Chains A and B, each alone.
Chain A
Amino acid sequence: QVQLQQSGPGLVKPSQTLSLTCAISGDSVSSKSAAWNWIRQSPSRGLEWLGRTSYRSKWYNDYAVSVKSRITINPDTSKNLFSLQLISVTPEDTAVYYCTRSVGYDDYIGYYYSAMDVWGQGTTVTVSS
């Protein structure tokens, strides 16, 4: 059974960096059959996909345009986890943050991903001085 365990601070000051990690058990961050996502949820923005990392012979990262200049998602193969860094945060970044897994497939049409079948427990992050 795949599980995702999130950790990180719940309070970040404006202009500082939000850092969260997501530890994977039951799967591997370097699996060729998965992508690892970060999602956030707030009353004003709803559920918002932030980005993902995946491994298919090399590492790929995809990011939402809304945060592309501020976000980094990194895999850590030694600890089997992936992390989120969001720099220069403002109160607009206050949200519940989730890490998730999407199962990947490689068949006659090429590589593609399915829905998000495993979710972390969520981390409430407040941006405030």
Chain B
Amino acid sequence: DIVMTQSPDSLAASLGERATINCKSSQSVLYGSNNKNYLAWYQQKPGQPPKLLIYWASTRESGVPDRFSGSGSGTDFTLTISSLQAEDVAVYYCQQYFIIPLTFGGGTKVEIK
């Protein structure tokens, strides 16, 4: 199985500040034949299911604010919130869909300082 490791476990930043979450996979999720990274980011607020933010490592889902961006390739990925807003308080998960079993990171809790 591909193990997904996120860091940090939690972070607190001020409103308007940048927040960065890291995700590392135990093996590459880059498929050479189509040059796509099979990596997604989700946001989960209390009492709600996870919501897809980013797929193919850097493609923003429709309707997701452009302050959310994804980057990285191979085994190392980053989710950046460029200007933290109050509504961004949530837990964020990375997930690989390169091979089954599909696996998730442990989550990063984002709070306002």
Is the Cβ of A116 less than 8 Å from the Cβ of B52?
yes
Q: Is B51 an interface residue (CB 8 A)?
A: yes
Interface size class on chain A is: 20 to 34
Query: Which residues of A sit under 8 angstroms from B61, Cβ to Cβ?
Result: 117
Count the A-B residue pairs with Cβ separation under 8 angstroms: how many? 56
9-residue interface stretch from B19-27, B75-83, B92-100:
B92-100
On whether the beta carbons of A115 and B101 are closer than 8 Å, the reply is no
In this complex, the interface size class of chain B, counting residues with CB under 8 Å from chain A, is 20 to 34
Name B39-90 residues within 8 Å CB distance of A.
Answer: 40, 42, 48-52, 55-56, 61
- Summarize B's interface: helix, strand, loop or mixed: loop
Indicate if the CB atoms of A47 and B104 lie closer than 8 Å. Answer: yes
Q: How far is B31's CA from A107's CA once the two chains are assembled, in angstroms?
A: 14
- Minimum C-beta distance from B7 to chain A (A): 15
Query: Does chain B have a CB within 8 A of A25?
Result: no
Q: Which of A103-126 contact B (CB under 8 A)?
A: 107, 109, 112-117, 119-122
B49 touches A115 (CB 8 A): no
A115–B95 CB distance below 8 A? yes
CB distance from B5 to the nearest CB of A (A): 12
Determine if B52 and A49 form an interchain contact, defined as CB atoms under 8 angstroms apart. no
Whether A102 pairs with B97 at a CB distance below 8 angstroms is yes
> A115 CA to B56 CA in the complex, in Å?
8
**Contact bitstring A13-48, B, C-beta under 8 A = 1, else 0:** 000000000000000000000000100000000111
Q: What are 29 A-B pairs with beta-carbon distances under 8 A?
A: A37-B102, A46-B106, A46-B107, A47-B95, A49-B101, A49-B102, A64-B101, A98-B49, A98-B50, A102-B97, A107-B34, A109-B31, A109-B33, A109-B34, A112-B31, A113-B97, A114-B40, A114-B97, A115-B40, A115-B55, A115-B56, A116-B42, A116-B50, A116-B52, A116-B95, A116-B97, A117-B55, A117-B61, A121-B49
